[in-house]
Amino acid sequence: MAWWDRERYWHLVRPDAVEAIHNETFRSALRWYYSVLLEGYPAKFVIARSIPVEADISRASLEELWDLHRALAREFESRWREVREEGTRYSEFVQRYGSASPSFVTLKAEIARRIIRRCCFCERRCGVDRASGAIGACRVDGRTYVHSWFLHLGEEAPLVPSGTIFYGGCNFACVYCQNWDISQVSPREGAVVDARRLALIQKELASRGARNINHVGGDPIPNTHTVLESLEYLDVNIAQLWNSNFYMTPETMELLIHVMDIWLPDFKYGNDECAKRLSGVDRYVETVVRNLRVATEWGDMIIRHLVLPNHVECCTKPVLKMIADNLPRDRVLVNIMDQYRPEHRAYSYRDIARRPRPRELEEAYSYADSLGLLWRDISR
Report how far Cα 84 is from the mean position of its chain's Cα atoms: 22
User: What span, in angstroms and rounded, lies between the C-alpha atoms of 90 and 154?
Assistant: 29
Dmax (CA) for the chain in angstroms is 61
Q: How far is the CB of 346 from ligand SF4 (least distance, A)?
A: 22
Instruction: Choose between 43 and 248: whose C-beta lies nearer to ligand SF4.
Output: 248
Nearer to ligand SF4, 93 or 145 (CB): 145
Query: Cα–Cα distance between 214 and 151 in angstroms, integer?
Result: 9
Q: How far is the CB of 233 from ligand SF4 (least distance, A)?
A: 23
CB-based contact 324:372 (threshold 8 Å) = yes
Least distance to ligand SF4, CB of residue 109, Å: 16
DSSP characters for 207-244?
HTT-SEEEEESS-SGGGHHHHHHHHHH--S--EEEEEE
Contact by Cβ (8 Å): 92, 46:
no
Taking the C-alpha atoms of residue 335 and residue 323, their distance in angstroms, rounded to an integer, is 12
Q: Which is nearer to ligand SF4, 136 or 265 (CB)?
A: 136
* Least separation in angstroms between CB 244 and ligand SF4: 11
Which CB sits closer to ligand SF4, 83 or 122?
A: 122
- Binding residues (CB under 6 A) for ligand SF4: these are 119-122, 124-126, 128, 130, 136-138, 171, 221-222
Closest CB 138 distance from ligand SF4, rounded Å: 3
**Closest residue by beta carbon to ligand SF4:** 136
The nearer residue to ligand SF4, 122 or 216, going by C-beta atoms, is 122
> Is residue 172 within 8 Å of 221, Cβ to Cβ?
no
In sequence order, the 6+-apart residues with CB closer than 8 A to the CB of 107 are 53, 57, 65, 68, 69, 72
Given the complex with ligand SF4, which of 217 and 356 has the nearer CB atom?
217
Helix, strand, coil shares, percent, the chain, to 5:
50, 15, 35
Cβ 232 to ligand SF4, closest distance in Å?
Answer: 21
**Cβ 39 to ligand SF4 shortest distance, Å:** 35
Q: Which is nearer to ligand SF4, 126 or 312 (CB)?
A: 126
